[in-house]
Amino acid sequence: MTIFLIAIGGFLGAISRYWTANMFRAFTKLPTYSATLTVNLIGSFLLGIVLALHLHAETKLFFGIGFLGSFTTFSTFVVENMTLAKENNWRNVIMYILISVIGGVILAFIGMIIGKLLLNM
């Protein structure tokens, strides 16, 4: 049952990432990598909330590993940075990495704080 829950979460997360990234690209003039950055930051925030809530273990696996594991994407992040590096766009490489890592950690902590506040309501 656990593998099934992770698989369903992964399926839904991948579709959500695809839809979110496409909507982001359709409605903004920002560079392509901005969609991945946005998805990864949203995913970090949501993971913080999931970690803070007292959810059943299988529910955490569904959301944490399944949905958010496929909603966020490290491989696309790496490919986009390699593409920027090939274009000698080092300023954007550095900014993309810094915003992704630092922003992701900060948003995960904010998500945890919000998750704890939700528990105390």
Strand (E) positions, the chain?
none
Q: What is the mean pLDDT of residues 19-39?
A: 93
pTM of the predicted structure, to 2 decimals = 0.92
Tell whether residue 83 is among the known ligand binding residues.
no
**Looking at residue 121, what is its pLDDT?**
82
Tell whether residue 20 is among the known ligand binding residues.
no
1 band by pLDDT with thresholds 50, 70 and 90: confident
Q: What is the mean pLDDT of residues 67-87?
A: 97
The ranges assigned to domains in the chain are 2-119
**Looking at residue 34, what is its pLDDT?**
95
Q: What is the mean pLDDT of residues 52-60?
A: 94
Rounded Cα gap, residues 37 and 91, in angstroms: 16
61 band by pLDDT with thresholds 50, 70 and 90: very high
Q: CB of 55 within 8 A of CB of 63? A: yes
